[in-house]
Amino acid sequence: MISRGHEEDARPSPSPEKGWIKADFHLHTAEDPKDLITYSARDLLHRAHTLGFHALAITLHDAVLEDSSLSETAINLGIRLIPGAELRLEGADVVVLNLSKKEAAEIHKLSDLAAFRQRRGKSALIIAPHPFYVLGGSMGERLLEYIDVFDAVEVCHFHTAWFNRNRRAIEIAEAFKKPLVATSDAHRFHGFGRHYTLIEADPDAGVEGIFEAIRNHCVKPVSPDMTNAQLAKQLWCMFVTDKWNQWQARRAKRG
């Protein structure tokens, strides 16, 4: 069941002592090799701490962020930082959690992902992100073919009361008994904190304990509808502000 909540609600959630972990497992930061993003991973961690998050995965495009000082910052803030990446395989994006740089570099095709799944078993978590959103890399109906590879299906943040491409993803998740997880897929600072998943798990269970709770459907995805004004702002950022910033960055590189 998806909690709609309120789009403006980014307040702290129940503490882990009460049995719920607030998590977002699809995030991008300035360290991303493909997108121009204005805030760093460290900025994100401090914002997450303010908003009461307990677990995060920074999922750069086709790259794993490995930084021991960042991991130390997360520990000091009481946040479990799980390594991950958003990999584009045969035109489709997949989110893979708890993998190394070396492992990510060896995954080039969906068949490689299936082999990784077989090899790693329950120690990794694989999510199908925005599977039916055509503007990004999406699995589309191939999700059916590879459904056994995935542990969970993402509820994409980009939806309103009248536009929601998550519906088909939800149908498939329910048909194959896959849990739904809500994420922010944040590329902008203001986009983080409104969409997340509450996981019923022991805060000391560790990464695999969190993954097991997700597989057991002990989750509450929180993904409020955008208002029309918020949709307009999002589209402006995507097609005007971001394009302008990318053009300026290319111009600066050319000198």
Which domain CATH number covers 70?
3.20.20.140
Classify residue 11: in a domain, yes or no. no
Residue 9 lies in a domain: no
Domains in the chain, number = 2
16: pLDDT strictly greater than 80: no
Instruction: Work out the average pLDDT over 87-99.
Output: 97
Q: What is the pLDDT of residues 198-233, one digit of tens each?
A: 999 987 889 999 999 999 999 999 999 988 777 667
Spatial distance between the Cα atoms of 225 and 6, rounded to a whole number of angstroms:
8
In a domain, 52, yes or no: yes
Whole-number pLDDT of residue 246: 57
| Rounded Cα distance, 117 and 134, in Å | 26
Are residue 143 and residue 254 in the same domain, yes or no? no
Same domain, 180 and 71: yes
Question: Does 110 lie in the same domain as 178?
Answer: yes
Q: Residues 149, 232: one domain?
A: no
Q: By three-state DSSP, how is residue 18 classified?
A: helix
> Considering the domain boundaries, does residue 8 fall inside one?
no
Confidence at 8, pLDDT banded by 50, 70, 90: very low
For residue 7, being part of any structural domain is answered with no
Who has greater pLDDT, 7 or 18? 18
Please check whether residues 147 and 241 belong to one and the same domain. Answer: no
The answer to whether the beta carbons of residues 52 and 22 sit under 8 Å apart is yes
Q: How far apart are CA 252 and CA 53, in angstroms?
A: 36
Is the residue at 210 inside a domain? yes
The answer to whether residues 246 and 122 belong to one domain is: no
Q: Give dist(CA 181, CA 170) in Å, integer.
A: 10
* Domain shared by 157 and 183, yes or no: yes
Residue 10 maps to a domain: no
Which pLDDT score is estimated for 13? 54
CB-based contact 111:65 (threshold 8 Å): no
Of 57-71, 111-125, 195-209, 236-250, the one with minimum mean pLDDT is 236-250
The alpha carbon of 92 is separated from its chain's Cα centroid by a whole number of angstroms, namely 15
Percentage of residues in the chain with pLDDT exceeding 90? 73
pTM above 0.75, yes or no: yes
- The per-residue pLDDT for 156 is 94
In this structure, the answer to whether residues 55 and 126 fall within a common structural domain is yes
Model pLDDT for residues 139-189, shown as the tens digit of each residue: 999 999 999 999 999 999 989 999 899 999 999 999 999 999 999 999 888
pLDDT score of 72 more than 60: yes
Is the same domain home to 220 and 232? no
**Cα 83 to Cα 69: distance, rounded to the nearest angstrom:** 14
Q: Is the pLDDT of residue 9 over 90?
A: no
Q: How confident is the model at residue 1 (pLDDT cuts 50, 70, 90)?
A: very low
Asked if residue 29 has pLDDT above 50, the reply is yes
**pLDDT of the residue at 81:** 97
Domain ranges, residue 245: 227-255
Q: pLDDT tier at 252 (50, 70, 90 boundaries)? A: low
What distances in angstroms separate CA 8 from CA 12, 51, 179, 191, one per listed residue? 13, 13, 25, 10
The pLDDT of residue 54 is above 80: yes
Residues 178 and 94 in one domain: yes
